[in-house]
Amino acid sequence: MKKVITYGTYDLLHQGHINLLRRAKELGDYLIVGVTSDSFDRGRGKLNVRNNVLERVEAVKATGYADQIVIEDYVGQKIDDIQKYDVDVFAIGSDWEGQFDYLNEYCQVVYLPRTEGISSTMLRKESQNVFRVGIIGSGRIAKRFIPESKVVNGIEVVSVLNPDLREAKAFQQQFDLLEAHSDFANFIKGVDAVYVASPHLTHYDYAKRSLYADKHVLCEIPFVLKGEEAKELYDLAEQRGLVLLEACKTAHCPGFMHLVTLVKSGVIGDVVDVKASLSKMVTIPMRELDVAQAGGCITEHAPLTLMALIKLLGRDITDVNFHSRMQNGVDVFTKGIINFPHATSSITLGIGVKTEGNLVISGTKGYVYVPAPWWLTDYFEVRYEDQTKNKKFFYSYDGDGLRYEIQEFISMIVNHRMSSYRLRRRESITIAEVIEKYRNKENVTEI
Ligand code: CTP
């Protein structure tokens, strides 16, 4: 019996897939179809797959061509499957020409003609509205946002706003946008949603004006610097049926999300202490070092670190104490001790002091160690007294990692979801409240 194997995602199964499966089946007597698992696809940066693995398997089954279906879950599995199932022919569409020649060592490799004019990507695009997004601000993070937005379906960045029109135009040109504005009223007319990436002190005002203009808002960290402002904006978004999401990127990245669910499932017992550190040295005069622009490491780095504590320990903070080293009115190093009823925690932040930038979560059975930079979580270890039980976890953190929050933002708009479990509104408000305490100099000691 001649055995053939082929692989694919088979999302929104279409005629191209059916033709390919028929041709593959015709190459032998028995066809094995490998369907990618959801996590394998996500790991490969395929963020937009619509059907889950069960639906995709059912669709392949319904074609009637597959004699056996296997789930593809890891890099290198093709070689294992070919050997395990004694496969004679590996078949794949011609869009992969040459890329699987390495399998010739194990079986015959055949590239079959691809059906022109159809693909899952195309179907996904056609079936989804594209939201026109305008970026407020044209600085470093805004520049990283555009390439990241291109890997997410359903979003097109169309314009930029900067009070300095020359800067807006330079940004427009660099990223080939449709519009550049220095005037908010003109800017807001042409978009469905905004990404606020302007200086910290302008976030509240821009977010509020955008919500009043009935636009969805994705706002960079720090969202706002006062708890009441955060509450007011979330209430406003809710009243107007709009999505408002704090762009706390780590909360959306697959590695960090799994870390939280693992810890919450009790793998290290009760969590008793969390230590989160984040430092990025700033040596040339920039916004981060300017007191007039709310510079300092609390405003810069507290949102991601507080998010981690809150996701792991909750919002029931009993007391907060800060120790800071100041330079020209901004904190270049801050250590915050944040206590919970049954746990302690600390954040160690620097823009003028270098710290390791790791995250350590200590529990009654073991601890989790996430090496620097923990906020781009692609690896962590769960460690125990008995080291033979230690486990290492690996993830992919693609590109600049903004794609995950962008995808959630678009998904919330499409599905009319006002709140994201990845970062609840009340959690975001708690972050703003802690930052506000610091800025009000409550329990802050200079060192
Ligand atoms: N295929 C094909 N003709 C098409 C589309 C896909 O022959 N028009 C083949 C691919 O070459 C592959 C198999 O179908 O052998 C599964 O491909 P998959 O990646 O699942 O489908 P695409 O439509 O290419 O999906 P995407 O747009 O997500 O890449």
Q: Is residue 405 domain-shared with residue 264, that is, in the same domain? A: yes
- DSSP 3-state assignment of 387? helix
CATH of residue 185's domain is: 3.40.50.720
pLDDT in tens, 283-298: 888 899 999 999 999 9
Q: Is residue 202 domain-shared with residue 273, that is, in the same domain? A: no
Burial of residue 15 (number of CB atoms within 10 Å: 0-12, 13-18, 19+): exposed
Question: Is residue 275 lining ligand 1, measured as CB closer than 6 Å?
Answer: no
Q: Is residue 11 domain-shared with residue 88, that is, in the same domain? A: yes
Q: Which atom of ligand 1 is nearest to the CA of 6?
A: 15
> Which residue's CA lies nearest to atom 25 of ligand 1?
120
> Which residue's CA lies nearest to atom 4 of ligand 1?
16
Residue reference for tokens 């200086």: 199
Token duo for residue 406: 């962008």
Q: What is the pLDDT of residue 386?
A: 98
Question: End of a domain among 122, 143, 160?
Answer: 122
The boundaries of the domain holding residue 96 are 3-122
Q: Which residues does 162 contact at the CB level (< 8 Å), separation at least 6? A: 137, 138, 168, 171, 180, 181, 182
Q: Is residue 46 domain-shared with residue 185, that is, in the same domain? A: no
- In 9-44 the beta strands, taken as DSSP E runs, fall at 30-36
Q: Is residue 262 domain-shared with residue 189, that is, in the same domain? A: no
Question: End of a domain among 184, 217, 248?
Answer: 248
CATH of residue 19's domain is: 3.40.50.620
Q: What is the pLDDT of residue 128?
A: 80
Q: Is residue 289 domain-shared with residue 374, that is, in the same domain? A: yes
Based on the structure, what is the number of domains in the chain?
3
Question: Is residue 97 lining ligand 1, measured as CB closer than 6 Å?
Answer: no
Residue 69 backbone dihedrals phi, psi, to 5 degrees: -120, 135
Other CB atoms within a 10 A radius of the CB of residue 146 amount to 19
Dihedral angle computed from the Cα positions of residues 159, 161, 166 and 171, in that order, rounded to the nearest 10 degrees: -50
CATH of residue 377's domain is: 3.30.360.10
CA 198, CA 176: separation in Å to the nearest integer? Answer: 20
Question: End of a domain among 232, 248, 264?
Answer: 248
366-403 core/surface letters (b: 16 or more CB in 10 A; e: else)? bbbbbeebbbbbbebebbeeeeeeeeebebebbeebbb
Other CB atoms within a 10 A radius of the CB of residue 214 amount to 11
Q: What is the pLDDT of residue 388?
A: 98
Q: What is the pLDDT of residue 45?
A: 78
Closest by Cα among 47, 167, 154 to 415: 154
Question: Is residue 8 lining ligand 1, measured as CB closer than 6 Å?
Answer: yes
Q: Is the overall model pTM greater than 0.85, yes or no?
A: yes
Q: Which residues of the chain are modeled with pLDDT < 50? A: none
